[in-house]
Structure 1
Amino acid sequence: MATQLTFPNWLATAATCLASLAVLLLILRRLSRRRYNLPPGPKPWPIIGNLNLIGSLPHRSIDSLSKKYGPLMHVWFGSNPIVVGSSVEMAKAILKTHDVSLAGRPRFSAGKYTTYNYSDITWSQYGPYWRQARRMCLMELFSAKRLEEYEYIRKEELRAVLNELFHSANRTVLLKDHLSNLSLNVISRMVLGKKYLQKSENAIVSPEDFKKMLDELFLLNGVLNIGDFIPCINFLDVQGYIKRMKALSKKFDRFMEHVLDEHIERKKGVKDYVAKDMVDVLLHLAEDPTLEVKLERHGVKAFTQDLIAGGTESSAVTVEWAISELLRRPEIFKKATDELDRVIGRERWVEEKDIVNLPYINAIAKEAMRLHPVAPMLVPRLAREDCQVGGYDIPKGTQVLVHVWSIGRDPTIWDNPEEFQPERFLGKEIDVRGHDYELLPFGAGRRMCPGYPLGLKVIQSSLANLLHGFNWRLPHGVKSEELDMDEIFGLSTPKKIPLETVVQPRLPHHLYSL
């Protein structure tokens, strides 16, 4: 007599069949999956990957791992595969040979919440929108003609800072404040058309608060947000970063809306209106019907935010590191001032056109960018397709980091790499414009920082004039060997403890007058 299948037995049989089918599908998937020859790297832990090996200064942690596993290393941040290139050869392969294949961007929370849902130049995906943004930067915003038109702004703001330092002579000053004011005022006038951030009763945001906003922006765009790498816990916001990103976004958007409204109101009813600043240019482009991808209002705000943040941070951070290093090496200081006295003399300031005739000043700037790159690991790239680098496979979807901090300290490239020695650049054609992979402060390839021409001008001219205009020393009781040279990690790496210094004028006093 046949036995009737009861409901519980039926359920158990169905569950067994489903489990068997799932196992079979898993086996077939693994058999059909391509076996990749991945670069060497540490064995990952379940769920967290290799995040347990990353400390508070990730660029230093990854440098230590690269020394063990080689110039092309594979690690896991949570469930995300990461490939790190830390040699000239690997940098060239990533940024030049496979530039297009590796031109994507990972979709981090920072890009979503702080750049209008990936609408800026830095975090937008490679494609028509990004290519159009790149063209706008090269042809409109940072063209040689436009930068030349704005030279008078850079000159006026630099003179203002030199005047401030003159009136602070023989007193301890916080150099970062003066450098940030310089960069912020230059960028504000070039991008926004005026100093929106001057102290006034009706100011939309105070200068102090805006600087804090910029510091927060760079920090949050560089942090390792655990939720980006372990998506299942992203909603928990265990580090509190997403909450901070959302709060920061609201503050920036309030400011950006105010700026755009003022610019739109200013040109109402004006026939043949001529653009006065970069926001005017962006708003004009937003009305251009011939653009391949329409530039929306949120895109204008995202680009404007990029221009302000990128132009402010890089130059101030680099010059502060340079001065800090020189305070530890007085003999380098003397060589720099000797060159300035010989080429410029003591009766005028350094002009931008003079920089080409100041090889030692140029060498100091390059050495600061080598030893203290603003972005120690370039903004992460994403593999858009499978490719092969250095004989290893990089599967589609892999994040790719170029570790310029390690390259700048590679003893096979640089003698005494931990020492600040500007002489290493004298008589050598090593450039910072993305052609020489030993020195990549602005990156290289398609996703190179589009604003580097402006950043380089501000770095070189401000450094030259600060050295030309003043003698520098540390505050009383502080020895050069005691000067703190630790950094903070983010999208940039400023000094952990800002530099305090004392200045004394070295040129005729009438030159410091405005």
Structure 2
Amino acid sequence: MFSLQILQSCPLPLLTLAVFIFILNAATKIIHQSPRRRRRLPPGPPAIPIIGNLHQIGELPHRSLWKLSRKYGPLLRVKLGSVPTVVVSSPEAARELLKYHDLQTCTRPAIARASRLSYDFADIGFSPYNDNWREVRKICILGLLSVKRVQSFRYIREEEVESLVETLSRHSVSGKPVNLSEKLMSLAITMIFRAGLGMSSHGIKKNIERFRGLVDEGGTILGRSSAADFFPYVGWIVDWVTGLHRRREKCFHDLDEFYDDTIRNHIQNKNKEGPEDIIDLMLNMGREQQLEVGDEWNHIKGVLMNLVLAGTDTSASALTWGMTELIRNPRVMKKAQTEIRNRIKNEGMIKEEDLEKLEYLKMVVKETFRLHPPGAALIPRKAMSEFKICGYDINPKTRIEVNVWAIGRDPSVWKDPEEFFPERFIQNEIDLKGQHFELLPFGGGRRGCPGIHMGLSLVELGLANLLYCFDWKLPEGMTKDDVDIEEVFSLSVHKKVPLQLVPVKYNNSS
């Protein structure tokens, strides 16, 4: 009514000008908005105001998103709180993203930082794709994590696997089940801490409970989504109320103290003998670039955060799932053991040089990573500009996730995808090193996992020796159908119930 009175009191020329401006403004909006309206966005379920589609994401996000993708298609659009998200669940879409739009999506969404401490170093490994990130990654790939460097640490892997075999051999005398999940996590921790941090085997085993606690809590915290990730302006309040902020603060404080002690020990023992580890390499880089001590240490801490947490968590998870599937599939286990014991005769231990002879074992490892990729979804990306995938428009600032767990179960690629069947890789060129998008446990493109060689070496060597040195039985009263395969989501997807098996020492002299 008030607007009508204003119009009635206006002179005709002024009224005409106002109408003209109104029409021009409306036309401008239509012109600018029409391309947006013509955009073909990926399909997805309707979103609820404020929370978006968060109510449809359960405790196992990779499974929830997989179910939605089966209904709406392999390129799924959802809204997680206020964050528009596209989920890739097919090899074709993953190929377009990682091969043709890698540079446009190689940065990361900002993740909630719980404190000044975590702001300093926790997210360096997930930082935007810039010159600093490229330099740190180059140090990792060409330094500790290159094929040549990984091979130089072969003796550490062989020593630690041999130590595990000796421990299991002593335990086998009792005929009682052993918590294999715990043993394999200890193996991964000891291996990463020796090769990456230069720690002694004795020192690690003396403090294994402390280190195990750091790794477990750190993996849980980093693998847990924060309300602030999806509600940038008010989510931090929820994190305070739920106690997540306080828990994360304590976790990063404990890790910070551990990293400080480790770096300080390296500086004090700079004339130590033996191969350089990643801390040595980065200290040398800091001196060459004349970095301030605080900046130098924070760079090192950022890399250690990824190496210690991701390196141990994923390797232990893969080993546990491999043994879980083998005990559930006696035919496969028997075939793998027969290959190893026929080709590697009268040897106390399998060495890394023997692994190339074990073709079926490598198929078992591939099949394990297909069904149980340690990271069910790759670390999220963020679109930096507009582009298309599979004919659909992706808007800038969209969060993009690749559900490698779903890709490994795509029935258009894998026959009987739920079955553990390593023979599917016979005369099959599909590899897991990021060049074949049907199998992406280590990701691909610029953000592919730099620790692939170290992770694969430990998994293959560990499985080979567990199968060579022991026959395995289930606890009394259990059958293979009783083996629990329920998952729990963390930094990697773990077996919820620890794997309990009875090791029976194999007499390889017969």
Q: TM-score over 0.5 for the alignment?
A: yes
Match of 1:185 in 2: 190
Match of 2:261 in 1: 258
* Equivalent pair of 1:114/1:248 in contact (CA under 8 Å): no
Cα distance in 1, alignment partners of residues 392 and 446 from structure 2: 23
Superposed displacement of residue 354, structure 1: 1.7
Q: Does 1:496 align with 2:502?
A: no
Q: Which segment drifts farther, 466-475 or 241-250?
A: 241-250
Which structure has greater helix proportion?
A: 2
Gaps of 5+ in 1: 1-20, 201-205
1:114/1:452 CA distance change after superposition, 3 Å: farther
Cα distance in 2, alignment partners of residues 415 and 306 from structure 1: 35
Q: Does 1:464 align with 2:467?
A: no
Aligned-partner SS, 1:40: coil
Cα distance in 2, alignment partners of residues 186 and 248 from structure 1: 22
Aligned-partner SS, 2:184: helix
1:353/1:110 CA distance change after superposition, 3 Å: farther
* Equivalent pair of 1:434/1:440 in contact (CA under 8 Å): yes
Cα distance in 2, alignment partners of residues 230 and 27 from structure 1: 34
Cα distance in 1, alignment partners of residues 274 and 478 from structure 2: 53
Aligned-partner SS, 2:161: helix
Q: How does 1:77-156 map to 2 (within 5 A)?
A: 77-109=80-112, 116-117=119-120, 122-156=125-159
Cα distance in 1, alignment partners of residues 414 and 114 from structure 2: 35
Aligned-partner SS, 2:76: strand
Match of 2:248 in 1: 245
Q: How does 1:327-366 map to 2 (within 5 A)?
A: 327-366=327-366
1:110/1:95 CA distance change after superposition, 3 Å: farther
Partner letter of residue 107 of structure 2? Answer: G
CA deviations over 1:343-381 (Å, ceiling 9, x no partner): 112433211122121111011111110001101111001
Match of 1:287 in 2: 287
* Equivalent pair of 1:326/1:332 in contact (CA under 8 Å): yes
Q: Does 1:56 align with 2:79?
A: no
Match of 2:324 in 1: 324
Aligned-partner SS, 1:82: strand
Percent identity over paired residues? 38
Aligned-partner SS, 1:122: helix
Partner letter of residue 207 of structure 1? Answer: I
* Equivalent pair of 1:111/1:221 in contact (CA under 8 Å): no
Cα distance in 2, alignment partners of residues 131 and 37 from structure 1: 34
CA deviations over 1:231-257 (Å, ceiling 9, x no partner): 232221144322221110000001111
Q: Does 1:382 align with 2:387?
A: no
Match of 1:15 in 2: none
Q: How does 1:409-488 map to 2 (within 5 A)?
A: 409-488=409-488
* Equivalent pair of 1:162/1:466 in contact (CA under 8 Å): yes
Q: Does 1:198 align with 2:204?
A: yes
Aligned-partner SS, 1:109: coil
* Equivalent pair of 1:37/1:392 in contact (CA under 8 Å): yes
Aligned-partner SS, 1:494: strand
Aligned-partner SS, 1:189: helix
Aligned residues: 479
Cα distance in 1, alignment partners of residues 414 and 242 from structure 2: 38
Superposed displacement of residue 81, structure 1: 0.4
Aligned-partner SS, 2:468: helix
CA deviations over 1:369-418 (Å, ceiling 9, x no partner): 00011011110011111111111111111000111111111111111101
* Equivalent pair of 2:46/2:53 in contact (CA under 8 Å): yes
Partner letter of residue 196 of structure 2? Answer: V
TM-score where L is the length of structure 2: 0.89
Partner letter of residue 255 of structure 1? Answer: F
Aligned-partner SS, 1:502: strand
Gaps of 5+ in 2: 1-20
Q: Does 1:217 align with 2:218?
A: yes
1:250/1:118 CA distance change after superposition, 3 Å: closer
Partner letter of residue 497 of structure 1? Answer: V
Cα distance in 1, alignment partners of residues 453 and 355 from structure 2: 14
* Equivalent pair of 1:311/1:455 in contact (CA under 8 Å): yes
CA deviations over 1:188-219 (Å, ceiling 9, x no partner): 1111212385355xxxxx42232122122222
Cα distance in 2, alignment partners of residues 454 and 162 from structure 1: 20
Q: RMSD between aligned alpha carbons?
A: 2.5
Superposed displacement of residue 285, structure 1: 1.0
Partner letter of residue 402 of structure 1? Answer: V
CA deviations over 1:76-117 (Å, ceiling 9, x no partner): 001100001100000111111100001110111269778554
1:314/1:229 CA distance change after superposition, 3 Å: same
* Equivalent pair of 2:124/2:299 in contact (CA under 8 Å): no
1:37/1:477 CA distance change after superposition, 3 Å: same
Cα distance in 2, alignment partners of residues 273 and 190 from structure 1: 14
TM-score where L is the length of structure 1: 0.88
1:331/1:121 CA distance change after superposition, 3 Å: farther
1:216/1:458 CA distance change after superposition, 3 Å: same
* Equivalent pair of 2:121/2:301 in contact (CA under 8 Å): no
Cα distance in 2, alignment partners of residues 218 and 509 from structure 1: 42
* Equivalent pair of 2:139/2:281 in contact (CA under 8 Å): no
Q: Does 1:312 align with 2:312?
A: yes
Cα distance in 1, alignment partners of residues 327 and 124 from structure 2: 36
1:445/1:481 CA distance change after superposition, 3 Å: same
Superposed displacement of residue 220, structure 1: 2.1
Match of 2:49 in 1: 46
Cα distance in 2, alignment partners of residues 348 and 428 from structure 1: 32
Q: Which segment drifts farther, 28-37 or 222-231?
A: 28-37
Match of 1:203 in 2: none
Aligned-partner SS, 1:488: strand
Match of 2:180 in 1: 175
Q: Does 1:164 align with 2:167?
A: yes
Superposed displacement of residue 124, structure 1: 1.3
